Structure formats: structure tokens, C-alpha cells
Structure 1
Amino acid sequence: MPERKPWLPWLILIILALVWGSSFILIKRGLESFSPGEVGALRVVITWLFLLPFAAKKLRGIPLDQWKVLIAVGMVGSLIPAFLFAAAQRGIDSSLAGILNSLTPLFTLIVSIVFFKNRPKWFNVTGVIIGLAGAIGLVSVSGSGNFTVNMGFAILIIIAAICYAVNVNIVKAYLQGVDPVAITALSFFTVGPMAAIYLFGFTPFASGIESNPESWKGLGYIAILAIAGTGLALMLFNRLIQMSSAVFASSVTYFIPVIALIWGIADGEKFRPGFLLWVMLVISGVLLVNTSSLTNNRIVRFIAGVVKFSD
């Protein structure tokens, strides 16, 4: 961490938490004007167009085998989750979507164990179990109160989190030496045209925006989501990793659910009595997954506090 500006990584961390935590309310606003398919496609297309200048500078020197990996990264890290989040938020609150998204580190560990033969410690595995239990509890007390209906939509967020987990492991295993800006820009370069073909060829987006002036407001929300919440935020995140450490940068995961929850409550979404306990269980699980030793007193105190709260 730079000595002259020790506050800068913290500033970037706060900005990322605010931006990513606000993504779910922006999706909700976009869905007021467009279908889930249109929202997902627009998010990818706008990000692709924004990153085109960066991609143009990085096109040379990428071997064929890395292009195959970049296509996979674009699909599981951006394209598929964009559609899944939009579809899920037709049936669950934006705050719940933000909280369930924090399960990504748990699935990252599972994917690394199953496919990349990593060996976690027992408390990391315990963290996965606690986090998943918290997620199931959240779904059971949220939304309409109908667990089956809620789970039908929540499972889409969980699949998106699994996609993100696969993406992290692919990047770590196969793109370790590639410039992070190149990974972001070129992965969108591979999937952007697919989203554009779907948007203009298989949805009524063009005719709808022409006939409904109000839809421009929804387009504005999605543009903010795409440019700030995806393009710029990923660049900031990569910069944060370079300035500090991966552990410090990954701590943004703990703050995103808080911001999403605040936005949801401000937007009139219900805050049920059992909500806080399940949120703390999810965060406890994420903390255990991301720790390398139980000697970290802050983690032990937090989890002990959750257990005491539940009593």
C-alpha cells in the first residue's frame, strides 16, 4: 500500500461498494421500461461499446488459445449473469439479489475444490455451509413469503454467482499473466456482438424505445449500470488489487449487501424481522471462506456475535 496515499485504497474500496451495491436498484429501474432480456443485452452492449477503445489497443499479441479463454470469461463472467440477474429481479427484491450475490466467494471455493483440486481448511468448508444456510434462510423470509416461488427466482442469482465463481477460477488459472484491462475489454469484445444481435434481432427494443419516450429514462439507468457498474468499476477493482492485495480488494464483498439492503429499504422493500440474522450468517460464511487462519480475532468475534444474536 503506498505510503504517501494510504487513504486511496480505502477510497476506491468505498466507491466500489457504493457502485456495485447500487447495481441491483439500477437493474430494478431498468426493468420498469424493458424486459429482462432487453436489460441483460443492453447492459452487455453498452459496456462493450464503452470498452471498445481499450479493446482496440489490446487486440495485438493475444494468442489463439487465450482467445478461447477470453470467450469463456466473457460468457460466464458477463453475458450469462447479466441476463440471470435481470430475470431474477422480476420476482425478488433488489436487496435480496445483492445479498445473494455475496455468495460468490463461497462458490469460488467450491469450484476451486471440484475442478482445480485446491485443498481448503476445515473452517473454509464450514464457511460454505454457513453461507448457504444463510442464503436459504433469506429466501424463506423474503418476498411474497412463498418459499417455492422465491427460490425459483433466487436460484437464478445463485447460478449467476456460480458463473462468477467459475470466471474467477478461469482467470486465475489461465490468464494470470494477462493485463487486467485487456481481460475486461477483450472479454466484452467477444460477447458484445452476441448481445447486440439478440437485442436488435430478437427483442422489440428498437420499436419500443421509439414509441415510448419514458423508456429513455430506463435506458439511462442501464447505461449508468453498464459504464459505472461494470466497465469503470472493473478497472478500479483491478487497480485496487495492484495497489493493495487481493485479500483487501475482496473485502468489498462484505459491503455490497449492506448498500443493496439500504437501497432496497429506501425504495420501499420490506425488511422482515429475521432478515438481519440471515444476512449476518451469509457474511460470516464469506468471512470464513476468505480467511486463512482462525487466529484472526475480528472474524472470531463477528461470528460469535452472530451466534449470540441468534440466541
Structure 2
Amino acid sequence: MSTPDTAELLADAGSATLLPDTVDHVAVARLYGEPLFALPQDLYIPPDALEVFLEAFEGPLDLLLYLIRKQNFNILDIPMAAVTRQYLSYVDEIRSRNLELAAEYLLMAAMLIEIKSRMLLPPRKTAEGQEPEDPRAELVRRLLEYERIKLAAARLAEVPQFGRDFLKAQVYVEQALTPRFPDVALADLQGAWADILKRARLVQHHKISREELSVREHMSIVLKKLQGRRFAPFEDLFDPARGVPVLVVTLIALLELAKETLVEVTQAEAYAPIYVRLAFTPAA
């Protein structure tokens, strides 16, 4: 039986290094896609780099409540020996890795041991007809209160939140190029009408007469005054010298024209002078 020569073994080893895909099954890792057959000598891996935490607790009460609920213990009748033993095993585990984190848990461990010790002692004497105080009562109260707060926080976390579950929709609407005059407020129209009545009383004459006034006729008069004018001041459409009855009919005629969209009553801004113009409706 013949044995392979040393030169042949070296040649085979050299060809193996040239073809890493053929020996990829023995590579310890891959670096940027290339197989790595030996760990670097200067590679430093921290002791806690590969730690895996299966459960994350927010504090000692959270851990204690987890141990009780996981094993279906009655929270009003906690088996202190079993719970304390499991709690201390977890504290020993985190104390070897993070001493600062374990300090808070050690305080709760001392409290559990104290409660267990008080349960082993004879109960204190109380008044007639009263039951001795349970050493676990304060711990049970804190656990129930913590559980209620934790469940409420979980329900609040399920509520949709802005930025996490939805975003605000923003729509850009391009403004029209044609300027839109603000609508005339009723109070401004009443103020302008009161000024016209005040001027009419200053120039009125005591004359008793009966005159038939037509709204349609004054509608035509208003339209004639607006012909050829882009805007006409509101007070220019009234003639105070003709008396209050004519002013009233003229106002009614102006309102009828505005109702039939034959004229437009506008103003540049709030509290600005009121103007009237003809309303031009483009042909269909």
C-alpha cells in the first residue's frame, strides 16, 4: 500500500487555498463574502458581546409580577419561599454582569427575605376579634397597583399616535389669480344706511304730499347710475334731498338687484367703504 508523498500533500493544500469554495464547509466565518479559516490573533471580543436577554424587565416589581403570573400563583397568597428562590437566582445572574442594575433588585430581594422571616415568626397579638396583619399585605398592594398601571400603559400604547401610526396629510391648493373681495357684513351695510338717513334728516323739508313710488322704477334708476362706472360708492346711489320714502324705496330696489345678481355689493377689506358695481354674467 503506497502513501502520498509530502510534496503532493503540500500541492493539494496550496490548491485548496486557491479554491475556497471547495472547502467552505470548514470556514469559521465569512468576512465581506470571503471565507475565513482562522480567527485573527489580535481580535478582541468583549465578554458581554454575545449576551442574549430572553426577558427584559422594567424593575423589581415587574420581575416579581412576571414570576407570579407565569406560574399562576395567587397574588393574594404568594408562596414566598418559591418566589424568593426564583427571584434571587435572577438577581445572582444580573449581579455578575451589571452591578449597577442589580442594586435596585437587591433592595427588593432584601424585602422578600424580610417578609419571609416575619411569616416564620409567631403573629403579633392584636385586639379581640381582629386578625393579625399579613406581612405580605404591603407587597400585594404595590403589585396590584403596578399591574393596573402597566395594563393602562399597554392600552394607551395601542391608541394610534401621530408620527408612529399615521401622518398628517398636507395638500397645497394654488390660489386663484382673480382677486376675491370679502363679503359685506350686515353690520357694515346697516352703518352705511344709518349715515344716509342722518344726512337725509339734515336736508329734509316739511312737505306733506302723497307720492306713488315704484321699486321697479328705482331699480332702473340704480342700473342707469351704474352704467359706465366700474365701482360706485354706496352713498352715491341715494338722493337725500328727495326724502326718506325715496331713500327707503331706493334701498329696497338695490337689495332686489343684489338678490337677482344684477349688481354686486363689495368692499376692499373689513370696515372699508362699500361700493356697488354691475354684475357681468358671461354668455353661455
TM-score tier, shorter chain, comes to under 0.3
- Greater Rg by CA: 2
More strand by share: 2
**Could you tell me the TM-score, scaled by structure 1's length?**
0.19
